[in-house]
Structure 1
Amino acid sequence: MTRKPPPQHGERRCYLRGCRRPECVEANKRYCKQYRLATVHAPLRVDASAAVRRLAHWANQGYSHTQIAAVAKINAPEVSKLLTGKQTSISLAHARRIQTAHDPSGAPYHAMTDATGTIRRGRALYAIGYPLYRIAQDIPMNANDLGRLLMLESATVRQSIANGMAALYQRLSGTLGPSHLAVCAARRLRWDSPIAWDDDSVDDPAAIPDVTGFCGTDRGWWTHRIEDIPVCTACETAHAEWLAAVKHVGRAERSRLLGRAKAEASGRGAAIAENARELLALGETYETAAARIGVSRNHLQQELLRHPEQQLDTAA
């Protein structure tokens, strides 16, 4: 009976006895690979084209590589390599995970939307005293990037940024911020405060800020001047058109028309505030009081602020 020769370095038998010299480790690897090829019928790696198409579908919807990796249960660097073409094959297990994964949920990180509402909300918060760094930290967004967005009026913004700004605006637009410098800078830049926008108009690119309740008309221009509110572009345009329309009217008639226009604007705000306080005292809400007077809720609140209730001193 012949005995087997003792294991030699470079053989798998030597590896199994505990040797970890490089040649023994390599011999074990060769054996394992040959065993898999001989016994496993499914390929170890497959073409990645089908997986890439599904990953690209999600990426085109605006989902980030991290969001995609979370639902596909693979790592984000592999998602990046597959989408950029640096990796053309994929393990069978990962291919199955991608094909059977549910679509990502939540807001796509890279999805873009119209920036109109985000810019208006950011400017409005700045106009009531919230500095850029305070606005940016809750969106979240870099303060410098926010400044460029508000100044340069980008056409689009990430959906996640728009959602963050909308939530922050909902929370802070009813209270004044701490920065007087922001208020002064916004006034110089002619940025409108929250009272210029209704909830249903702030996202509408065609809407104009309505600070007076009559913005876009000559009456609005007079209200700006009487109430010492910076005149908006729409009212400047409307007043210029009104002046052009009465340019050829006689001096006396023109003076009469100017006086009447000024008079119509001068008493309107105080009357709205007085009527609103009476309705509120009777139990009406701001919405119903505004509807009965015929103005928007924002306009009603604005006039209440401009015309505070006069407290009469009583004799002791």
Structure 2
Amino acid sequence: MARGPFSGVLAPVATPFTRDLQIDTARFTAFAHDLLKAGCHGLVPFGTTGEGPSLSVEERRGLLAALTGSGIPGERLMVGVGTCSLDTTVRLTCDALDAGAGGVLLLPPFFFKKIDDDGLAAYVDALIAQVNDPRLQIYLYHIPPHAGIGWSPALVERLAQTHPDTVVGVKDSGGDFAYTRDVLTRLPDFGAFIGTERQLGDVLDAGGVGTITTTANANPAGLRRAFDQWRGTQGQALMDAAGAYRKTVEGFPTVPGIKALIAHERGDPEWARVRPPLTDLAGEQRDRLLQRVGELEALAPAPKPA
């Protein structure tokens, strides 16, 4: 069974928009480069934080071309795919492979509720058959709080055994670590990512490979230090600091909050804009978020370069 090409800290890259709600490609590619320079092992465009469901096939295709055209290696991209249309998901997956992506992050067909494992298995089986490309590496995106459905541990095991060279990992954003523990008990060599760094130490100890977390957009260096030094003498302190950052951000709407932090960090208010139906973080909320994050940084400032 393949373990998958990714490990470490991956950022589900936020997507900037212009005043007329078009994608700001220049800001996007510059930010992607900066995330890698700051320590992210890889990037996940078009995920939840990237407002992926709000982006068209053509917009995604253009952004992928911009990323790879700007010099970002395709193998460092785990591209968000997965729609309610099998045909559209096949197209998005083929586009990712054409861009040289190392893998795709597959949402279930989220509009359809009360779907059993057989139905979801049929969806994945058909996707793999229609893409028909040995390069395909699928990470299952388990996020039932948003999708309304998820990939059960039994189904994950079934898919990994049916497609051992293709279904190679999972991102668990369900909020209950028992899910990830169950998956790794069934599949000890599986490429399991956790969706919050508050459980990063747990997933690494259980045999998982890392985290794909929204706060990697705003705290990439802190997360990289926590990952690299987890088993060192400062590992717990670094993990606690990363967890405190995440806990603070969780008190605010996720995507508007992260974009407010990016706008503040980069001194660029254009970054704060989200695409409807999401709404920008209100001024009072934004100020409170920045104050609380600033207090955390004042208590635990980042180490200075040697």
Considering fraction of residues, name the structure with more strand.
2
Considering fraction of residues, name the structure with more helix.
1
Superposition TM-score tier, normalisation by shorter sequence: under 0.3
- Which structure has more relative contact order (CA 8 Å, sep 6+)? It is 2
Q: TM-score, normalised by structure 2?
A: 0.24
Q: TM-score, normalised by structure 1?
A: 0.24
